[in-house]
Structure 1
Amino acid sequence: MVGAVVTGGCGGMPTTDSPRAAVQTAAERRDVFFAGGRYVGTGGQEVMQGAMYVEHLAPARVTQKYPVVFFHGAAQTAVNWITTPDGRPGWASYFLDRGYDVYLVDQPARGRSAWHPGLDGTLTKFSAPKIEMLFTDSAARGNWPQAKLHTQWPGTGPNKGRMGDSVFDQFYSSQVEYLGTNAETQALVKQAGTALLDRIGPAVLITHSQAGPFGWLLADARPQLVKAIVSVEPNGPPIESSTVFGAKKQLAWGVADVPITYDPPVMDASTLDIEKETTPERPQLMACWRQKAPARQLPNLKGIPITVLITEASFHSQYDHCTARWLSQAGVPTEIVRLEEIGLRGNGHMVMLEKNSNDVAAWIDGWLRKTLN
């Protein structure tokens, strides 16, 4: 059994309607270990830096060829995959029940993975109003064109998705501080994630949001051990961020903030020859940055099945096609799936926690079975 009991309400007092999760799964065994990391310091002051917490949930009978490794996004931990804030079983349970070995991680320097003052970088956080705008009350507070389509966040009543609502309070209670730079985060996860793959062998990666580049970097480092990538609204777009966060340079390597292998080789990201589309693909979408022809290739990612899932109402709906197109231009055929086009309407960015989360998980399960079997 994977379980979580969570209580609380405004002012720190328990409320009778607070969601409580007692999540029954098909887990036969639960193992916990740490992957990666190294000792730093001298003279009796050594500490382990960069180790990543890993939780392995094994079903009573494994029926799927490859395990699934879940990587959470910014401010999140593995809690994302265990239960929803309104107390339903999460995607970990869904995939266990269908015969997958499941691995859940807390990114290095996050959650149950140690952060060391003076060694690891400065931490940052999301405020509750920011979470309302980005994830839970987008229809009312989002500042992107698709925001008004958001209908799937759980809860009822006029305060749904806002501070003081029991479901929102549970979700916001799960948010934690995280490293302020994506480059540091990606470097740490590449090291620890490579160690994890070396330990468990071939696997499927399911990444969300900030974790999107982890999939590309781990596939680059261990192409024989990454059998498929399901990238749910990956950190993007390439080169320049959305105005939702204030347009600024990012992902200088196209799909990552740290080096990734190109052919012909690239020693410095500034030497990538890039251009921006003059007009977007269609209204309400961002114009994408791309390489000028002939585009350098990402040779280590070729042959790995990849799908990018985009929800109908998220701020990512404006630009995740840019990430998929960058990959395809670099010789990595990438499937783009907009959930509304397969009948899954109204989702926001935290799709694994929303009312129809199991419907989305079922699509992913079907894609994996079709792709890998």
Structure 2
Amino acid sequence: MSRIAIASITALLIAGHAHAAEPITLRDMGSFHVGGRLVEISGKPVKEVVFTPGGVPAKVDPNGTYQVEQMYVQYFLPANEKGAYPLLMWHGGGLTGVTYETTPDGREGWLNYFLRKGWAVYNSDAVERGRAGWAQYPDIFKSEPVFLTTANPFERFRIGDGPNSYDPDPAKRKVLPGNQFPVEGYENFIKQNVPRWTTTDDATVAAYIAEIDRVGPSVILFHSQAGSFGFKVAQARPDKVKALIAIEPAGIGDPAKANVLKNIPTLIIYGDYIERDVRWPKIRANGVAFADAIRAAGGSVDIVDLPQAGIKGNSHMVMMDKNNLEVAGLIQKWLEAKGLTK
């Protein structure tokens, strides 16, 4: 890429981000789709569809071959690369790669932070999310999609103080004391939410495996629902996964194959208020038990409970919280300590 092109990209990245510490200079950026399969559908009636108001009806035959279960990946390659391997970012349930972009209240997200640190970042929309696309129900996706109300994440992601803490009036919302989530940007966060399915996990794992097969040896940073995906993909491709960073993993890998992860340094991070939640004590216990199984097999797992590390008030959406860069700094130091930077 020419110096002029690099300068142009830099200028675009700087625009609107005058608060940034220094410009981001890229040697390349782009995107691709990966994974998926072809599926045949038959026996459906032909439809007549008017695609544009006032237009001429067209016959649409829904029978035929469909491309489904692919994944979208966008990559950013810094001019001065300091990460020893690419950093893959995998989002949680009902979300997309927007998770790691600008925070709901307009601050810098983890994607930009790690780019500034010299990491080649690959940020994805998983199967059935965002730019990855969708497929028919029930022909291909076997369950109905799950949609969330505006109140659900507020009460379930440890932002609000439990059930009935959300109110349409922001002044009446009951936020957990000292919570770091940017509640003033909560409506922007809700706009990021997308439908999710509960029957596409195998397809998602297959797509993530296809991503790491294409990108090559990588560090994987994953959140929430992607806990299961991150660990399972590492168990499927242990030679290509150089480190695992699990941010509040809601799922785990196969405990019977914990020994497969013994040579992969792993960091697991949990936020605040877990003991006050109905579900998270058990979810955390499952994660700790899985970590213990890896350790018993001779592996290295570091578990960080942020409040015990002096970083308090974090919701489930750690990468969006007001102290998100402090947590990112903790991750960066861990990566450096593991010899994963140049």
Tell me the TM-score normalized by structure 1: 0.71
Question: What residue in structure 2 maps to residue 356 of structure 1?
Answer: 323
| 1:77 counterpart = 2:96 | yes
Query: Is the 1:136–1:168 Cα contact (8 Å) retained in structure 2?
Result: no
Equivalent-residue separation in structure 2 for 1:148 and 1:71 (angstroms): 27
SS at match of 1:228: strand
Q: 1:22: Cα distance to partner? A: 8.7
Q: Which moved more, 1:311-320 or 1:343-352?
A: 311-320
Which among 153, 178, 183 is matched to residue 181 of structure 2? Answer: 153
1:235 corresponds to which letter in structure 2?
A
Which among 168, 191, 206 is matched to residue 186 of structure 2? Answer: 168
Equivalent-residue separation in structure 1 for 2:126 and 2:317 (angstroms): 18
1:88 corresponds to which letter in structure 2?
R
Which among 245, 258, 263 is matched to residue 303 of structure 1? Answer: 263
Query: Is the 1:32–1:53 Cα contact (8 Å) retained in structure 2?
Result: yes
| 1:324 counterpart = 2:285 | no
Equivalent-residue separation in structure 1 for 2:288 and 2:300 (angstroms): 8
Equivalent-residue separation in structure 2 for 1:140 and 1:40 (angstroms): 43
CA deviations 1:58-87 (Å, max 9, x no partner) are 112111101111110011110110110001
Which among 212, 219, 223 is matched to residue 204 of structure 1? Answer: 219
Say if 1:362 and 1:301 are closer, same or farther in 2 by CA, change over 3 A: same
Tell me the TM-score normalized by structure 2: 0.77
Unpaired segments ≥5 residues, structure 2: 1-8, 43-62, 166-174
1:206 corresponds to which letter in structure 2?
L
Q: 1:188: Cα distance to partner? A: 1.4
Query: Is the 2:76–2:121 Cα contact (8 Å) retained in structure 1?
Result: yes
Equivalent-residue separation in structure 2 for 1:134 and 1:196 (angstroms): 30
SS at match of 1:37: strand
Question: What residue in structure 2 maps to residue 246 of structure 1?
Answer: none
Q: 1:313: Cα distance to partner? A: 2.1
SS at match of 2:222: strand
Q: 1:178: Cα distance to partner? A: 0.8
Question: What residue in structure 2 maps to residue 47 of structure 1?
Answer: 66
Query: Is the 1:150–1:312 Cα contact (8 Å) retained in structure 2?
Result: no
Q: 1:190: Cα distance to partner? A: 1.4
Task: Give aligned-pair identity as a percent.
Answer: 31
The 5 A counterparts of 1:86-165 are: 86-117=105-136, 118-121=139-142, 122-135=144-157, 137-139=159-161, 141=163, 148-154=176-182, 161=183
Query: Is the 1:81–1:90 Cα contact (8 Å) retained in structure 2?
Result: yes
Equivalent-residue separation in structure 2 for 1:356 and 1:113 (angstroms): 30
Equivalent-residue separation in structure 1 for 2:122 and 2:178 (angstroms): 30
Task: Give 1 or 2 for the bigger CA radius of gyration.
Answer: 2
Query: Is the 1:123–1:178 Cα contact (8 Å) retained in structure 2?
Result: yes
Unpaired segments ≥5 residues, structure 1: 5-19, 155-160, 237-254, 263-296
2:281 corresponds to which letter in structure 1?
Q
SS at match of 1:176: coil
Q: Which moved more, 1:122-131 or 1:223-232?
A: 122-131
Q: 1:326: Cα distance to partner? A: 2.5
Question: What residue in structure 1 maps to residue 172 of structure 2?
Answer: none
Equivalent-residue separation in structure 2 for 1:32 and 1:224 (angstroms): 24
Q: 1:261: Cα distance to partner? A: 7.7
Question: What residue in structure 1 maps to residue 85 of structure 2?
Answer: 66
Paired positions, count: 287
Question: What residue in structure 1 maps to residue 332 of structure 2?
Answer: 365
Equivalent-residue separation in structure 1 for 2:320 and 2:333 (angstroms): 19
2:64 corresponds to which letter in structure 1?
Q
Say if 1:142 and 1:148 are closer, same or farther in 2 by CA, change over 3 A: farther
SS at match of 1:298: helix
Query: Is the 2:255–2:290 Cα contact (8 Å) retained in structure 1?
Result: no
SS at match of 1:39: strand
